[in-house]
A and B are shown apart, each in its own frame.
Chain A
């Protein structure tokens, strides 16, 4: 790509914990990416609209309220409905091991839990972009 990687960092649902989302947003920016942060309380519809409008290469979702099984797949499916099939969707939060496989099968390509390093996330994004 001849422009910086564009990442939409989003907080779906009602969860107000945004420390992780903001730290990651800043780390991605420090790694040279263009980062848009949605702020709190976004519906999956709003997130997808923002991803389309901003032409995001990556959507990074953060949920710590336990609503990930509902919200993450919804974002993936709405993106598909919009005809976006080359956007990398990743997620993070307080996500039990048992839920991770299901989320990956639903199309969230990587899940990051507490203790993850921002360097790993940067590395993952750089090597797993769907748009080249």
Chain B
């Protein structure tokens, strides 16, 4: 903590050295604020639009199966002969939608934007520990985006084995067309993505540990930083395991090894593979795959903590419990992966163990939800769009989290595994919740990023339509799942048994389409506010954290003079004995003032 103080003096000199050209400022920038914006535009906006449009195509196919549709014809071209979506491309859309949303939008987009923007600004650092690594991290991410999108233009289409790419389906080009060049590109793209993610995470960890300003002890860090920090740690622990799985799969596919394959007879011939096991791949995949859920969710919860406290004009309730629950979730998240594999053929005793650890995660999650609710209690709630999305997040986090109690229970999982029940559960608890986190973050820190305000009324319209549609889409979906309808079916018309779910599917698709259109409101607001929004004041939300002590206009090194010192925790809102209802972290304690929290 104190070791960082002395360097300030030297840092101050650096500020004026750089001669910026267009290329170093906007393209190969090493400034964390610019990199954050690059992640926002590439990861959240562009990849988000593509991912959401895919989900709408998927929903249209499910609601009106095998019917000719001009939109399919226009967008899918040869994949939709006569305007009827092809079954292979349906699976490809499902696969790439999942991959884009989970990895590109909600991992790289979310962490990339807000960790980059906020870690130096909220900790009082001039920049990330390594601006150069940060730049490389972004450009590797950009490259992986390009490769993933490019896979749509290879002859047999993109990967289509589901975002979990279980072999042998993903390993054998003769099993499905998408497992040819499309899958190769998927694996290459993900390998580069993981490299990018690791560089980013290491940078975040080092920055948090080393570059905190004077007085910013770990226990005075805003909960956003705690969440980003722990997220980075989880990423560093679990992403390499996915990389190893991807490399072994590449070996199996291209070099004839048998890590995941054994005893296969396909298209009239026996393949040479022997001794491998697809279950091994499932273990490796989910060792990342489950922590990944928290890599997506924790930053969103961190953002929410900050926004709810600021807009409630109240300290976050139970700061220490919030930090402990983040730590507990992070630890538990690495020992629950088996709940995706209850019926994979692994030993049933292991199933019992994973049921136990999985349901334990409900405890820190419940603590977080209750603490958010208590923070609202007796607050003075400022209903800014960011606040609405944060409250919405708590709502979907509860609704989606509760059904986890059913899915985490091995006995119950037998009958709802891989049905629409699962789809409803994870979309609410990680998809919608994390997206709300992203939206909340954008509305809240837009003035910090672009120096202008977003239009609040458009924000309200965006929130309320999205919130209603999100429940409209995913709530009824639980019931379809409980009726036993498997997910990832191109059409259900071969099962008269499920005909009574067809009308509900149409209703769900309607809600999805409206929700999709509502995002145009956001997009308009976002783009036009960048150029024409009202100029922002320095601290529009009257917030305590350090990023609002930096000038509105971006500059290298963040603060023109010395870095502010920190004298208190970030949640002194409405503290008795102060005139204003907020006391920024860099305001020294008054004489005789006590820290009124543990």
Is this pair of chains taken from one and the same complex? no
User: Which A residues fall within an 8 A CB radius of B?
Assistant: none
Residues of B at the A interface (CB closer than 8 Å) are: none
